[in-house]
Structures are given as C-alpha cells and as structure tokens.
Amino acid sequence: MNITTSQPSENRKRHGEHILIHMTYIAKNVDLDSGIELTRALEYWRRYFEETNIVSALVISEGYFVQSFQGTRPAINTALEKILDEHSTIFPNIVNIEEIESRQWSGFLVKHLTSSVEDEEYALKSFSAGSDYNPYLMKSTQIESFLKAIFKGPEYNKF
C-alpha cells in the first residue's frame, strides 16, 4: 500500500524550503545613473524573482529604494547574497526580517513616488522624522506601514 502525503520530505525541510520569510531593506541608489540602467536592473530583478518564486514590493523615490520581498528562506538568502554581490554600491540596510504564514503581495510591484499630492500624502502619513523623504530616518515600523499604505488594495493583495 502506498501512502502519499503533501508534507515536504525530510531532506527538503533541512534547508528551510517550507518556511516563508519576509525581508525589508532600504538603500540609496548611487550606482544606476540613468533611467535606462534602472529600467534594465528592475527588469532583471523582476525576472529573477519570478523564476525563484519571490514576491516583492519596491518603492523608489529621490534616489532611495525601500523594498520588501517574500519567499522561502533559501530563496531569500540567495537573493540577498545576489543583491550584495551584484549591487554592492547601493549599500542595503536590512530593517526587518521575519517568518510569515503567507505572502502578502503578488508578483513584482514597483511604485515610483513623485512630488504629486497623492504621493506626498503617503509620505506625510508615514514619516515623523521630517518633511524630506529619507527612509534612513524612519523606524522599521514606519517603513513597514509606509509599504502597506502604498501597496494596499485588492490589486496588490492576490495571495
């Protein structure tokens, strides 16, 4: 008699493939000088995350990145290593890492904040460190709230 279960094998569990991780980092863009370079980099990461089953929410504004991504522990570890190796000039600072039960977003989400009234509203709700956008002056809870405020709604929450 053969019994099939949906449980991951013991070998698979040894590497943490059954554990989902949510990681958020901030960084300053000092490497990608043109819009073309940034577009190419974003497309590269979109494809990489899609191939490795990582979902991501990225905010770009005034040369800063705020990115949160979610996936299995090995996938997140590999992605972080790749970011550090290939884009060492952005100096990512991890502000939050935690285990989660399920993914919050779907796909590779990108929001470019401008000086519009709507975008300023996001910033004013999330920042208490001053009127200028600088994620390095924000607490991790403010950064997470900021991302949730920007990427709220049914079009973003597909999991």
Domain residue ranges of the chain, discontinuous segments joined by +: 15-150
Token pair 């001053």 is at which residue?
Answer: 130
* Closest CA relative to residue 123, chosen from 109, 137, 110: 137
What CATH number is given for 15-150 in this structure? 3.30.70.100
Cβ-Cβ contacts under 8 Å for 48 (sequence gap 6 or more): 54, 79, 82
**pLDDT tens digits, 41-86:** 889 999 999 999 999 999 988 888 899 999 999 999 999 888 888 7
| pLDDT for the residue 155 | 61
| pLDDT for the residue 159 | 42
Q: What does the block give as tokens for 140?
A: 């991790």
**pLDDT tens digits, 126-136:** 554 556 678 88
| pLDDT for the residue 39 | 83
The pTM of this model reads: 0.78
